[in-house]
Amino acid sequence: MTHRLADLAAMVGADLEGDPDRPIDGIATLMAAGPADLSFLTNPRYRDQALASKAGALLVSRDLSRETLAELRTDLVLCDDAYRALADLMTALFPVPEAEPGVHDTACVEASARVDPTARVDAFAVVGEGSTLGPGVVIGAHAVVGRGCSLGAGTVLHPHVVIYDGARIGERVVVHSGVVLGADGFGYAEGAEAASQIKLPQVGVVVIEDDVEIGANSAVDRATFDTTTIGRGTKIDNLVQIGHNAQIGEGCILCGQAGVSGSSRIGDRVLLAGQVGVAGHFRIGDGVQVAAKSAVFQAVENDQRVAGIPAMPIAAWRRRNALQSRLPAMRSALRALERRVGELESAGRGGGDGPAADGGDDT
């Protein structure tokens, strides 16, 4: 569908420098965009691509340098935060289609389950005894909702999601394919016999609060007691593991292959980058950012930026990395110094037969 550029700018409260009547047929990346496309410059590192782009208009942030803005010889949609405006614009232009309500003939819904008339249950899905599906809930094909679960309004389970018994899921939650919520936490006690382990029953539940999104093939284990909780508005990438009893705060971002061990406490607005590991029973404070591939083995105070193994303040990590690159040269210099000191010591021992040594007197 074609839109006037001025109308697109108005959707996100942006200012327009250029032709308000320019027709825009779509949104595309800088390199793929053509004259009928709106593209976006959300990071200054892509300045050269923006200069070479054939886009008819660019969505940009006002805080770009005047020099860069002057170089962009195309129509500009100026806003405070180009990335946020892009998200708002795409949400408006590409709304998620509403699912038609109904229960597929091949779905298995227990008689005691309560399914709102506006909910949808697709082919071969299962809804267990005593579970509740709220208004507009969508259960994808082959997904399984265990016994005694509750799913709030507008929640979507994509195909092949598995929700174990007793899970409580809030409103507008999105769970992607392959996710498992509520599998047993990893808890064992050493048995009396050699190499034997006794499984500790996991009798708690998983709680997923409103507006959470969980990426494909991630897992959130049920608590040993009480709850494993994912806070409101948190977004979890693919292949993330959340251990039993963990408490994840509100508005967090957990990137791919991150792992949070059991009984950890993650504050609000925390960022765990890709492949971060958090050891069990530690607290990470509000607003903390943990760099990719870091390992957290101790508590982290609020609003810290940490990196490394073990994780440390990022300034210290950078200094250590700078030193590491110099280690070969430092090692060579140290060996040279050791040889020189050895030579001086040998010379000192060999020069001990002078006049003072045999009682001579120069006076």
Give 183-201 pLDDT, tens digit per residue: 999 999 999 888 899 999 9
Ordered DSSP codes for 324-345: HHHHHHHHHHHHHHHHHHHHHH
Q: What is the pLDDT of residue 68?
A: 84
Residue 359 within a domain? no
Domain co-membership, 224 together with 126: no
Domain boundary among 172, 190, 220: 172
Question: Letter for the amino acid at 314?
Answer: I
Residue 54 is part of a domain; what is its CATH number?
3.40.1390.10
Give the pair of three-digit tokens for residue 84.
Answer: 């946020």
Domain boundary among 93, 116, 132: 93
pLDDT digits (tens, 9 = 90+) for 283-293: 999 999 999 99
| Euclidean distance between CA atoms 236 and 250, whole angstroms | 12
In the sheet that holds 235-236, the strands lie side by side as 102-103, 120-121, 138-139, 156-157, 174-175, 213-214, 235-236, 253-254, 271-272, 289-290, 305-307, 312-313
Helix (H, G, I), strand (E, B) or coil at 209: coil
Report the percent of the chain where pLDDT is more than 70: 96
Domain co-membership, 161 together with 191: no
When computed from its CA atoms, the radius of gyration of the chain, rounded to whole angstroms, is: 31
pLDDT digits (tens, 9 = 90+) for 47-100: 999 999 999 999 999 988 878 888 998 999 999 999 999 999 999 999 988 899
Domain co-membership, 23 together with 118: no
List residues with catalytic annotation: 244
| For residues 104-123, average pLDDT | 98
Domain co-membership, 138 together with 217: no
Give the pair of three-digit tokens for residue 167.
Answer: 């899970």
pLDDT digits (tens, 9 = 90+) for 210-258: 999 999 999 999 999 999 999 999 999 999 999 999 999 999 999 999 9
Give the pair of three-digit tokens for residue 217.
Answer: 């093939």
Q: What is the pLDDT of residue 352?
A: 54
Q: Is the distance from CB of 165 to CB of 128 less than 8 angstroms?
A: yes
Give the pair of three-digit tokens for residue 163.
Answer: 């929700």
Positive or negative torsion for Cα 111, 117, 122, 127: negative
pLDDT band at 353 (very low <50, low <70, confident <90, very high): low
- Torsion region of 56: left, alpha or beta (phi above 0 gives left; psi -120 to 50 gives alpha): alpha
Give the start-end residues of each E strand in 5-88.
15-17, 23-24, 26-27, 37-41, 57-61, 75-79
Task: Inform me whether the pLDDT recorded for 354 exceeds 70.
Answer: no
Domain co-membership, 186 together with 52: no
Residue 126 is part of a domain; what is its CATH number?
2.160.10.10
Residue 361 within a domain? no
Q: Is the distance from CB of 157 to CB of 138 less than 8 angstroms?
A: yes
Task: Inform me whether the pLDDT recorded for 363 exceeds 50.
Answer: no
* Cα of 161 vs its chain's centroid, Å: 20
Domain limits for position 136: 101-172
Residue length of the chain: 363
Domain co-membership, 206 together with 292: yes
pLDDT band at 27 (very low <50, low <70, confident <90, very high): very high
Residue 352 within a domain? no
Stretch (H or E) spanning 283: strand 283-284
Residue 350 within a domain? no
| Euclidean distance between CA atoms 137 and 101, whole angstroms | 9
Domain co-membership, 207 together with 296: yes
| For residues 246-273, average pLDDT | 99
Residue 343 within a domain? no
Task: Inform me whether the pLDDT recorded for 319 exceeds 70.
Answer: yes
Domain co-membership, 105 together with 243: no
Task: Inform me whether the pLDDT recorded for 41 exceeds 50.
Answer: yes
Domain co-membership, 140 together with 268: no
Domain co-membership, 106 together with 223: no
Domain co-membership, 192 together with 316: yes
pLDDT band at 357 (very low <50, low <70, confident <90, very high): very low
Number of structural domains found in the chain: 3
Task: Inform me whether the pLDDT recorded for 152 exceeds 60.
Answer: yes
Which region among 288-297, 305-314, 326-335 has the lowest average model confidence (pLDDT)? 326-335
Domain co-membership, 291 together with 244: yes
Task: Inform me whether the pLDDT recorded for 361 exceeds 60.
Answer: no
